[in-house]
């Protein structure tokens, strides 16, 4: 008896490198007065890491505000409205994984 197995490749296609000018447009000189966002993937321990990082960013680097969002599960992407909100309000977003 012959069975057919379908395999799916989860890897994304390779992207072309961006020119240096495009990459430098995304560079922050410093974090003073900036808004940093954390998107927590709900895995254990990321919330503690984000808490510590937020405190350090404010105390040592002058970050003005920290926004947080916790996804309901690691396997689910952030909702489009959350991504839009963070894009509008944040100068830097850190999407994290714990464990």
Give the pLDDT mean for 38-63: 92
Give the pLDDT mean for 54-72: 95
In angstroms, the CA 69 to CA 9 distance is: 30
More confident residue, 87 or 22: 87
Q: Both ends of the chain: CA-CA distance in Å?
A: 43
* 98 touches 45 (CB < 8 A): yes
Query: CA 19 from chain center: how many Å?
Result: 22
The whole-model pTM stands at 0.72
Determine how β-strand 35-40 pairs with β-strand 65-70: parallel
């Amino acid at each position: 008896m012959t069975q057919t197995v379908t395999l799916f490749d989860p890897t994304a296609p390779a992207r072309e490198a961006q020119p240096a000018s495009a990459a430098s447009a995304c560079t922050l000189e410093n974090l003073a007065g900036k808004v940093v966002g954390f998107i927590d993937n709900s895995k254990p321990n990321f919330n503690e890491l984000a808490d510590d990082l937020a405190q350090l960013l404010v105390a040592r680097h002058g970050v003005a505000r920290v926004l947080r969002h916790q996804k309901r599960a690691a396997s689910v992407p952030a909702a489009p409205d959350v991504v839009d909100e963070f894009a509008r309000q944040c100068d830097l977003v850190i999407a994290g994984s714990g464990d």
